[in-house]
Structure 1
Amino acid sequence: MLAAVIALVGSLFFALGAALQQFEAAGTARPGLLALLRRPRWLLGGASIVTGGGLHIVALGLGPLTIVQPMGVASLLFALPIAATLHGRRPSRAELAAAGVVAAGLIGLVLLVPEHDGATHLDPAGVLTLLGVAGAAAALLWAGSFAASAAGRAALLATSSGVLYGATATLMRVLVDGAWNWWYLLALPVPALLALVMLQRAYAVGHFGVSFAALQIADPLTAVAFGALLLGEPLPTGVLPVVAAALTAAGTVALARTSPLETRPDPIRPSLTTSDHA
């Protein structure tokens, strides 16, 4: 029970952080990290996300994965009302229902992944393969976003970010669970920083519900795929994973249709006149 409560509070912090960062990035033509780093609310969002991640790690130390992970998915349901409040509106029932379907499907997928107790190791060639595959997939998604609608662009950019975050999670798992290798430490910042850049670009489009849902889906699924491809971890089998994946996909499509376009254009700074200098 304590693990579930801590994980739920962590999800709330993560949702608050994501909503704050999207509010600051929304409507900006070029949401560069240097510009966003000068915005206190964006930094507060980052601190909230770090706090949520820390609480999630504490929860994993107190309870089983089957209890903690579903609480993490709840951040999607928390984030939508928080983001809507920041933008001065109420989330619609259809929007929340679609998010609930996404969460249900994602929880099913997470819980159906078999546990793996074997040794976790990745040699330098494996690290390069991981970065190469993740980078290529992220680049294709980024390129495809230019030809998509606003909702599709948000989804593709956030999926690109999720793929890179999934690669980061795989490296982190190897670093923590496996034999330590300096290759992991050197490679870790590369996908993490690129993922952050892609996510802010997704947030800037304005469809927060779509981008956050796509991130929540792509991140764990990519980590599972890399675990199977490079670490020899088992994949879920049977009909239930297919049903869960179908639920997740249907919920994401519905969310793309119901999530409104939320932008927050940067105010135009008035030009200085002669009297202003006086």
Structure 2
Amino acid sequence: MSDLVIAVGLCVVVAIVYAVAALIQARFAHMTVRELTRVPIWWVAQVLNASGAALHVVSLGFGPLSLIQPLGVLTLVIAVPVAALSAKRRVTRLELTGMACTVVGLAGLTLIISTSGKSAALGTGQLVGLLAVSAVLVVGLGVQGSRPGASPLWEATAGGLAFSVCSALCQTTVVHFGDRGLAILAEPVTILTIAAIGSYAIAATVLTQRSYRHGLGAPLAVTNLVNPASATLIGVVFLGEELGAGTVAITLAVACGITAALGVMQLARARDAHPDELPVQV
């Protein structure tokens, strides 16, 4: 079995786990984090998120960040039929169309992205630069989203960015561990990386949880678009990963991106069309 097949298989499992966790979190999105800590089922969602994150880290050992991260969009596709099942209804035509567009667009993008290279790791300078830039962006977006009356999509964007940075840091740790073993744990750069992973993971969890306060569809869609887009940018700018070159490849990538975005928009609209599935007061 090739590394690519293993990576894709793990990503599908991760998407299922994250989808179930997101559906649970959305049911209690009206609560504060302090209140949520007293809700047992919310902790189940966190266990699922942690399990998904662990599998995601494993998948980074089998493929580049620019391939692994776009597959996270499958979380939204999987969440739709699960939400319909939990609400005891059928998947609507708009949802089916949205899922089809998302899968087609995503498949095209993953074929265009180069996957022949090995997983890369951030150097010290690249690590510091990424942390500095991303911290400013995540904090800025989070503050904007916390203002009274602000759209939850600001926090969804911040959460997606935090998740992608966390993935890049995890890939760096995995690659260094594979090269040098447990000896890397004593290095200051590794300690900084692990601390940053924990910080970004917590930030992403809190930000996405807050973004679900007016419904799951649109925030989950935004998070799952920002996540792969920013991860691909990180992969290209900081890790030296390559995308398909040439006019034809760029044109196809744009077309696939538009198709996937259209699909996600349809899924978000379809999800928001069911007010009975919005967060409930308990």
TM-score, structure 1 normalization: 0.76
Match of 2:123 in 1: 122
Look up the match of 2:138: 138
Superposition CA RMSD, Å: 3.5
CA distance in 1, matches of 2:164, 2:38: 27
Which stretch has the larger CA shift, 42-51 or 237-246? 42-51
Q: Are residues 1:21 and 2:25 paired?
A: yes
Gaps of 5+ in 1: 268-278
Q: CA deviation at 1:111?
A: 3.5
Q: Which residue of 2 aligns with 1:157?
A: 155
- In the other structure, the counterpart of 1:192 is 201
Identity %: 29
SS at match of 1:259: helix
Distance 1:107 1:213, change over 3 A: farther
Q: In structure 2, the residue corresponding to 1:239 is in which secondary structure? A: helix
Q: CA deviation at 1:168?
A: 0.7
Structure 1 position 140, deviation (Å)? 4.4
> 1:80-114: per-residue Cα shift (whole Å, max 9, x none)?
12234445654422023213322332333234222
Q: What number of residue pairs does the alignment pair up?
A: 259
Aligned pairs for 1:34-113 (under 5 A) are 34-55=34-55, 73-87=73-87, 89-113=89-113
CA deviations on 1:124-166 (whole Å, 9 max, x unpaired) are x43332123223333444455579999xx34432222010111
SS of the aligned residue for 1:218 comes to: helix
Q: Contact 1:167/1:223 (CA < 8 Å) preserved in 2?
A: yes
Q: 1:70: Cα distance to partner? A: 8.1
Moved more, 60-69 or 231-240: 60-69
1:243 corresponds to which residue? 255
| Structure whose CA Rg is larger | 1
Shift of 1:65: 9.5
Measured against aligned partners, the alpha-carbon deviations of 1:46-71 in whole angstroms (never above 9, x if no partner) come to 22233344455666778999998787
One-letter code of the match for 1:14?
Answer: Y
Q: Relative CO higher for 1 or 2, CA cutoff 8 Å, sep ≥ 6?
A: 2
Q: Is the 8 A contact 2:60 2:174 kept in 1?
A: no
- Corresponding residue to 1:170 among 164, 168, 171: 168
CA distance in 1, matches of 2:71, 2:127: 30
Note the C-alpha offset of 1:221.
1.9
Q: TM-score, normalised by structure 2?
A: 0.75
